[in-house]
Amino acid sequence: MPPQLVPTPVPAHFVGPALRPERVERISDQRWLVWVGADQLVEREWGDGGRRGFLEGSAANRELTELLWERPWDFGVVGSVVLGAELVRWDPAGTRNRGVVQIAVPEVLDGVQRLGVLERAVADGMPVDRLRQSVVRLEVVTGPAVEVVRGELDAEDRRRNAATAQDELVRDPNLLRVMRQFRDDGVRFLVRRGEAREPYGDGGASGTCLTVEEATAALACLAPGARLEVAHAAGTAAGRERLWAERGQAAYRTVFNEHTEAVGVLRAVVIAREVRDVVGRMARGKRYGHAHLWRDAPQLVVWAVGRRLPLVELHREGRGPGAVDWDVMVGKRLAGLTETVAEELREAYARLRPTAGSGRRLRHEAVRGLEFWQAAMGACGGRG
């Protein structure tokens, strides 16, 4: 349990900034947590302890400044200012967990940027009184804890896991809706990084399992309105990351939008898996001519096969006369269709580059390029 909050004895010569916090918690003999209005943090000397000065022009500080001006009440929701001090004095002044806190010889261990944003906002005309809407958390440490905290803060940047575009996918309401649909159907749809990835196509005891990586690659080829350049990009990890980084843009919305349904996502993944399995078997053991196309550009084959499928029905539950029977299409027709399309692409490749290139590296790189994909589809009449 944390130590009981009791008034701190203070020497007669004690001098330091006095704060009237919203709340005070004493964590240990050497650590305090103090929640205080941001108006009490400006126009003060906090000493020099940070590794950097205020980076006025940084993108992070510009965004933090915008937050302060537009929504000051949210400025202190996350983040904190860490101070080292020679001594902390708390006088409860007859109140519980509030009163007055004085900090002797403070130095900023972390939070120079946050304090700098506050000072710059006041210099630019923000009334100090308005800063009262922002409650900032101070952590104050004294004694040996100062050097311990300073060292850990220096190491924190190395330990921080950098965010990626994939980490933002769970903020997409359309993708969240699909995740809920899969959950209701007992399907494991893995979107977040760090979730245990099952072996390819194996859902283990929980049944069907698919990942957002293969769903993105498949839908980029098979979603209604899919575009070749998007399908090409989604075939690589770097391309998918770029696609995910542009949520709300046309390319991303081709893949995940308000019409995307779990049933369609699953169909696309199943089709893409089957196409890749077929071309993988076709390419096995073939080390001659233009057959390397199947190994080096399976995503192109998925795209080309998709041009022969009724993709407008992908996300629809088929019922009644004339509805697409996807089970029959995938189970009985897809393998033969894939073989036909894959051969047509190989023949188009042979016509475009009869010698298959002058070197292994060059020809393998060529068939992975968007220009070749465009040329190969054109040579097949645009259908594959």
Query: What is the per-residue pLDDT across 275-329, written as a single tens digit (0 to 9) for each?
Result: 999 999 998 876 667 888 999 999 999 999 999 999 999 998 867 667 888 989 9
CB 261 within 8 A of CB 196: no
- Beta 135-142 vs 81-85: how paired, if at all? parallel
The lowest-confidence range among 2-11, 41-50, 77-86, 98-107 is 2-11
Residue 134 has pLDDT above 60, yes or no: yes
The lowest-confidence range among 70-74, 130-134, 154-158 is 154-158
Q: How far is CA 333 from CA 204, 294, 295, in A?
A: 28, 19, 22
Query: What is the per-residue pLDDT across 143-179, written as a single tens digit (0 to 9) for each?
Result: 999 999 999 988 887 888 888 999 999 999 999 999 9
Average pLDDT, integer, range 49-66? 88
* pLDDT of 52: 82
* pLDDT of 17: 85
What is the separation of C-alpha 105 from the centre of its chain, rounded to a whole number of angstroms? 41
* pLDDT of 320: 63
Mean pLDDT rounded to a whole number for the chain: 87
Q: How far is CA 347 from CA 8, 43, 274, 360, in A?
A: 85, 75, 21, 19
Most confident option among 9-23, 246-260, 322-336: 246-260
In this structure, the number of other CB atoms found within 10 A of the CB of residue 307 comes to 18
Burial class (CB in 10 A: 0-12, 13-18, 19+), 104: middle
* pLDDT of 356: 52
Helix axes 334-352, 262-283, angle to 10 degrees: 60
Average pLDDT, integer, range 217-245? 96
Percentage of the chain modeled with pLDDT above 70: 88
Is the pTM here over 0.95, yes or no?
no
Query: What is the per-residue pLDDT across 321-367, written as a single tens digit (0 to 9) for each?
Result: 678 889 899 999 999 999 999 999 999 998 888 865 555 555 778 88
Confidence of residue 16 (pLDDT cuts 50, 70, 90): confident
Confidence of residue 199 (pLDDT cuts 50, 70, 90): low
Identify residue 118 by its one-letter amino acid code.
L
Residue 194 has pLDDT above 90, yes or no: no
The Cα 220–Cα 195 span in angstroms is 23
